[in-house]
């Protein structure tokens, strides 16, 4: 099922091989380097409401000892005034939560005014902020596909 989903999601030039390493880790082998680059540097990949994080192979990798601490995720800023839909402003806002990677193109072209959306790399063991202050107002931050994040203990998969 995973191979079928990623084949449709990635839209690769050629076929690939996938090996199940256990503990929700998979090794993908790509024929053309362009396919590998597309997957590695592409969007944060979401399958069935879960992030699929791509990383380069590490020698002596053991699936039972592997744990991702950084992931690329999309964040939204609902109700952010349209005058703040600027790359400099959005990057400044997200720097407190993680490393800014890219802005949603529909936001960059100012075609969507409902919310600003930006992709960031976050370190999950560090705190994710539920909101930020800009001017005299406080704005919520919504983390896409992270449904259960406890802002009390900074763990995913439960809420206090």
Q: What is the pLDDT of residue 127?
A: 67
Task: Based on the fold, state whether residues 74 and 151 are members of the same structural domain.
Answer: yes
Percentage of the chain surpassing pLDDT 90?
12
Give the model's pLDDT for residue 112.
Answer: 57
Phi, psi of 7 (to 5 degrees): -60, -45
Write down which residue in 61, 80, 103 finishes a domain: 61
Cβ–Cβ < 8 Å for 160, 131: no
Co-location of 17 and 44 in the same domain? yes
Residues 74 and 44 in one domain: no
Per-residue pLDDT reduced to its tens digit, 113-158: 677 888 888 887 676 788 999 989 999 998 887 755 565 665 555 5
Region label for 22, one of left (φ > 0), alpha (ψ between -120 and 50) or beta (otherwise) = left
Q: Are residues 84 and 148 in the same domain?
A: yes
pLDDT at residue 68, as a whole number: 65
93 and 57 both lie in a single domain: no
Report the pLDDT value the prediction gives residue 150, as an integer from 0 to 100: 62
Assign 27 a pLDDT band (cuts: 50, 70, 90): very high
What is the per-residue pLDDT for 139? 93
Q: In terms of residue numbers, what domain contains 36?
A: 2-61
Hey, is 21 helix, strand or coil? strand
**45/47 Cα distance (integer angstroms):** 7
Total domain count, the chain: 2
Whole-number pLDDT of residue 8: 87
- 34-48: pLDDT as tens digits: 999 888 877 678 888
Average of per-residue pLDDT across 80-87: 86
Give the span between the Cα atoms of 69 and 131, in whole angstroms: 21
- Which pLDDT belongs to residue 70? 76
């Amino acid at each position: 099922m995973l191979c079928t989903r990623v084949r449709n999601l990635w839209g690769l030039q050629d076929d690939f091989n996938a090996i199940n390493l256990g503990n929700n880790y998979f090794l993908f082998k790509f024929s053309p380097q362009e396919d590998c680059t597309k997957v590695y540097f592409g969007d944060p990949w979401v399958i069935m409401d879960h992030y699929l994080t791509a990383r380069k192979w590490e020698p002596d990798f053991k699936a039972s000892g592997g744990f991702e601490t950084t992931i690329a995720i999309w964040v939204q800023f609902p109700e952010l005034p349209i005058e703040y839909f600027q790359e400099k402003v959005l990057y400044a806002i997200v720097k407190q939560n993680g490393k800014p990677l890219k802005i949603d193109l529909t936001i960059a072209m100012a075609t969507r005014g409902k919310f600003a959306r930006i992709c960031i790399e976050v370190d999950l063991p560090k705190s994710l902020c539920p909101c930020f202050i800009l001017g005299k107002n406080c704005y919520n931050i919504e983390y896409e596909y992270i449904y259960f994040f406890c802002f009390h203990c900074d763990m995913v998969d439960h809420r206090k």
